[in-house]
Structure 1
Amino acid sequence: MNYYAVATIDFTNTDWVMEYLQKVTPMVERVGGKYLARTPEFELVEGDGPIPQTILIIEFPSKEAAQSFYDSDEYQPYKTSRQNGSVGNFFLVAGKDIAKS
């Protein structure tokens, strides 16, 4: 079953962003991940926020692949940079429809 990483990001500084994009994208791809969205372009169509600066969606082939990326030793320094330079949330979402279970 596919899993999706969904992140909301508010930048506190952007010094880390270019290196993060260059180094982390290949890490995601090595475990079969694919970026579906990395964008500040979205609309809140229902609810009252909060509204992040950027939303990120990555598709992974499995929960194990997503977790192996997130927990990998290679990713840890970049995760720390992201956490130090932004605030937000990082979700792993199962790609299943409970109405079809």
Structure 2
Amino acid sequence: MTTYAIAHLRNVTLGPEIIAYLEAIDATLAPFGGKFVLHGAGNRRMLEGTFPSDIIMLSFPNRTAAEDWYASPAYQAILPLRTRNSDGDVLLIDGVDDDHKATDILRNG
């Protein structure tokens, strides 16, 4: 099952360290089958509320690949470039099956 890494970033300082992070991250994803699904503010239209921050979503083939990517020496080497220059929250979450219905969560609770 696909696992997603989601980052909600705020107060990003787009300086030399973030640029170096952006230039290096793709190479850290490749060995784990990771790819970008969403990246940054993008072309968004707010339907409700406010959201003065960025969302980054990566997809991985499974939870193991996502966890291995995050823990990898290659990613850990560049991670401080992001954390020193932004505030944020990062999580891993598994996707749902193609036939998922909203009421399925009632059976899992």
Same fold (TM over 0.5): yes
Unaligned runs of 5+ in 1: none
The alignment yields a C-alpha RMSD, in angstroms, of: 2.1
Whether the 8 Å contact between 1:9 and 1:52 is mirrored in structure 2 is no
- Distance, in Å, in 2 between the alignment partners of 1:9 and 1:43 is 18
- 1:17-54 Cα shifts (integer Å, max 9, x gaps): 221111111111221011111121334434x45x2421
Runs of 4+ in 1 over 6 A off after TM superposition: none
Q: Name the TM-score, length of structure 2 as normaliser.
A: 0.77
- Distance, in Å, in 2 between the alignment partners of 1:71 and 1:43 is 34
Q: Name the TM-score, length of structure 1 as normaliser.
A: 0.83
More strand, by proportion: 1
- Aligned residue pairs total 99
Does 2:86 match 1:75? Answer: no
Larger radius of gyration between Structure 1 and Structure 2: 2
Per-residue deviation, 1:90: 0.6
1:88 corresponds in structure 2 to: 88
2:41 corresponds in structure 1 to: 40
- Distance, in Å, in 1 between the alignment partners of 2:52 and 2:62 is 26
- Distance, in Å, in 2 between the alignment partners of 1:18 and 1:11 is 15
Per-residue deviation, 1:67: 0.6
1:56 corresponds in structure 2 to: 56
- Distance, in Å, in 1 between the alignment partners of 2:81 and 2:52 is 18
- Distance, in Å, in 2 between the alignment partners of 1:68 and 1:40 is 27
Identity among equivalent positions (%) equals 25
Q: Give matches, 1:9-48, under 5 Å.
A: 9-15=9-15, 16-41=17-42, 42-46=44-48, 48=49
Note closer, same or farther for the CA distance 1:32–1:40 as it changes in structure 2 (3 Å cut).
same
